[in-house]
């Protein structure tokens, strides 16, 4: 339990993807990055073409625990000096470089989400006739659970006396590492006072590693002396790819394929402005499931008896042996739990609604809602997000300051800066620049090239983009 807690407080801070990257998605100079929030985004793009050289970032958040008086920089320098608040016996145990971890004590279900992404060479082209085409290459990693029971709060677990059972409600968690080749298409249709855009991303997915765990019913659980746990009538279903269970140097192995789809719609009201007065959009993101059918195994442990689980049995054994031990302990046979050689993982699906309003030339305010939609029982779960982001945008410079409500619980402020072809930003800048209770963090960066002179208006890349003159009838 201590090891799991340390992972919760440590691992979310490294190699993780900023899930929404608002500073890269909302700008009219976003280019290929904008289609990842709404596939029809390029109908208002001010570029005739855009090429991403590289991009990526990290994101992690949890409401399970936190690191006191810390930020990412201090955490990275001193994570080897981590200790728990409850283990400190005297002030002398705390040095200037000590990281102190503690836990939230409310009775809400806890979440832990981690996302990593790297975008490789990608591009978009916008034609004069209102059609836009794009291609993107992404590598993505995700881990998510939004249902850690309140009974598994660290303090609740360790303050419960020996032999006293507590009810652990059902919960689930999923993880996957995958790459995707995406094709984007969008089209523009003129209306009386503006235009409509519709777009689609078709993503061909190659899954490398994946796993899920699902405790399917409430399980009375207790601890007894001897570092041993008791579980009354557990029902645990889990799947894992086994191509990298052994060895210290994991290597990519293609274990599954699938297709994902994003759909997007945008309505633009131009009014008397040079570009537009306001626009609204809606999109469905990451629709689909991935079939893991190579090097995959599904296990099911269901029993109506009391299971005695000595944690010391898992010390000094391989990951392969740990899987067999679960079956041996739960069912009395190391091979009895194996059910299948394939399983499915759902993509982190979501519904997103966006709105953008021009306050003054080059000054906008953007609003976005992201509501997760589970793609099946073992789905990766996106974070719910509500954000308002005022921004200034110009061909050679842009800046935004999003205010983000994460999972309708945590409020954070972000910032992003775009200078010519380079964009850097964070949707949680506080975790980087100030010290506090560190329980989330976020950072992203992208380097691109695009037209040097928008005045040429190649393919509709400038403002107005070839807007039709309207004739009025009397």
- In which order are the strands placed within the sheet that holds 306-310? 166-168, 219-224, 228-232, 306-310
Rounded to a whole number of angstroms, the distance between the first and last alpha carbons of the chain is 77
Domain membership of residue 457 (yes or no) is no
Is residue 264 included in any domain, yes or no?
yes
**pLDDT higher for 390 or 410?**
390
DSSP helix/strand/coil, 408: coil
Q: pTM for this one?
A: 0.87
* Whether pLDDT at 83 is above 60: yes
> What's CA 422's distance to the chain center, in Å?
23
Tokens representing 458 are: 């190649």
In the predicted structure, residue 11 carries a pLDDT above the cut 70: no
Q: Does 234 score more than 70 pLDDT?
A: yes
Q: Which residue has the higher pLDDT, 326 or 157?
A: 326
pLDDT in tens, 246-289: 766 777 789 999 999 999 999 999 988 788 999 999 999 999 99
What average pLDDT score do residues 212-219 get? 93
The confidence score (pLDDT) of residue 417 equals: 94
Q: What is the predicted pLDDT for the residue at 19?
A: 59
Flag whether pLDDT at 4 surpasses 50: no
| Cβ neighbour number for residue 215 with a 10 Å cutoff | 21
Q: Per-residue pLDDT for 468 more than 80?
A: no
- Dist. CA 276–CA 270, nearest whole Å: 4
Q: Is 290 within the bounds of a domain?
A: yes
pLDDT at position 387:
95
Residue 453: the pLDDT is 63
Average pLDDT over residues 43-61: 91
Quickly count: other Cβ atoms within 10 Å of residue 369's Cβ.
16
Say which residues have a Cβ less than 8 Å from residue 301's Cβ, sequence separation at least 6: 234, 235, 236, 237, 326, 327, 330, 331, 337
Band of residue 458 on the pLDDT scale cut at 50, 70, 90: very low
Q: Tens digit of pLDDT for each residue in 347-358?
A: 999 999 999 999
The residue range of the domain holding 230 is 2-452
Residue in the structure block whose two tokens are 């009395």: 332
Domain assignment present for residue 394? The answer is yes
Total tally of structural domains belonging to the chain:
1
Q: Name the average pLDDT for the chain.
A: 86
pLDDT (0 to 100) of residue 311: 80
Q: Which of 53, 82, 216, 55 is nearest to 139 (CA)?
A: 55
**pLDDT(462) > 50:** no
Lowest mean pLDDT among 32-46, 185-199, 444-458: 444-458
Sign, Cα dihedral of 235, 239, 243, 248 = negative
pLDDT at 2 (0 to 100) = 41
Quote the tokens at residue 61: 């958040």
| Segment 154-183 mean pLDDT | 90
Task: State the Cα torsion 11-13-19-20 to the nearest 10°.
Answer: 170
Q: What is the DSSP letter of 109?
A: P
Residue 152: CB atoms within 10 Å:
18
HSE-up (13 A, CA, CB side) for residue 210: 33
- Residue 459 resides in a domain: no
Does the residue 212 lie in any domain?
yes
Cα 351 → chain centroid: 14
CA 71, distance to chain mean position in Å, is 20
CATH number, domain of 140, equals: 2.40.160
* DSSP conformational letter for 254: -
Average pLDDT, stretch 134-143? 94
101 contacts 67 by C-beta, under 8 angstroms: yes
Decide: 266 and 280 in contact? Cβ < 8 Å.
yes
Calpha distance 135→105 (Å, rounded): 46
C-alpha distances (whole Å) from 74 to each of 295, 433, 434, 464 are 40, 10, 10, 48
User: Is the CB of residue 52 less than 8 Å from the CB of residue 33?
Assistant: yes
Q: Is there a domain that residue 195 lies in? A: yes
Question: The tokens of 348 are what?
Answer: 């982190």
**Distance between CA atoms of residues 178 and 16, nearest Å:** 14
Domain contains 458: no
């Amino acid at each position: 339990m201590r090891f799991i807690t340390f992972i919760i407080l440590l691992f979310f801070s490294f190699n993780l993807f900023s899930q929404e990257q608002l500073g890269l998605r909302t700008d009219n100079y976003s280019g290929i990055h904008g289609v990842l929030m709404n596939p029809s985004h390029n109908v208002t793009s001010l570029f005739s073409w855009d090429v991403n050289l590289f991009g990526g970032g990290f994101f992690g958040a949890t409401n399970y625990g936190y690191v006191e008086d810390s930020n990412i920089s201090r955490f990275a320098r001193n994570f080897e000096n981590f200790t728990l608040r409850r283990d400190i016996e005297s002030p002398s145990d705390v040095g200037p470089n000590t990281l102190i971890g503690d836990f939230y004590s409310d009775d809400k279900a806890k979440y832990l989400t981690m996302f990593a992404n790297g975008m490789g060479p990608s591009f978009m082209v916008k034609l004069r006739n209102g059609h836009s085409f794009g291609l993107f290459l992404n590598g993505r990693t995700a881990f998510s659970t939004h249902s850690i029971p309140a009974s598994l709060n660290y303090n609740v677990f360790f303050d419960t006396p020996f032999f006293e059972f507590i009810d652990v409600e059902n919960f689930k968690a999923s993880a996957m590492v995958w790459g995707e080749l995406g094709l984007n298409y969008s089209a523009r249709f003129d209306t009386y006072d503006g235009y409509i855009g519709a777009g689609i991303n078709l993503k061909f997915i190659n899954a490398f590693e994946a796993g899920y765990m699902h405790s399917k019913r409430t399980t009375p659980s207790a601890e007894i002396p001897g570092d041993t746990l008791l579980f009354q009538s557990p029902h645990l279903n889990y799947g894992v790819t086994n191509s990298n269970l052994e060895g210290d140097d994991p290597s990519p192995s293609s274990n599954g394929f699938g297709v994902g789809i994003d759909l997007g719609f945008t309505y633009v009201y131009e009014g008397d402005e040079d570009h537009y007065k306001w626009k609204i959009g809606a999109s469905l993101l990451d629709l689909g499931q991935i079939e893991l059918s190579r090097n995959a195994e599904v296990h099911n442990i269901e029993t109506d008896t009391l299971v005695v689980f000595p944690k010391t049995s898992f010390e000094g054994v391989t990951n392969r042996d740990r899987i067999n031990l679960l079956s041996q302990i739960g069912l009395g046979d190391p091979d009895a739990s194996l059910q299948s050689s394939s399983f499915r993982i759902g993509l982190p699906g979501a519904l997103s609604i966006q709105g953008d309003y021009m306050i003054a030339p080059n000054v906008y305010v953007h609003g976005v809602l992201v509501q997760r939609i589970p793609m099946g029982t073992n789905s990766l779960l996106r974070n719910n997000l509500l954000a308002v982001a005022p921004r200034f945008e110009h061909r050679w410079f842009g800046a935004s300051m999003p205010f983000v409500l994460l999972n309708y619980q945590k409020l954070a402020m972000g910032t992003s800066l775009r200078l010519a072809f380079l964009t850097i930003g964070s949707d949680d800048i506080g975790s980087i620049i100030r010290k506090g209770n560190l329980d989330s963090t976020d950072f992203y960066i992208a380097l691109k090239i695009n037209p040097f002179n928008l005045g040429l208006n190649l393919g509709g890349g400038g403002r107005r983009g070839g807007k039709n003159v309207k004739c009025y009838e009397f």
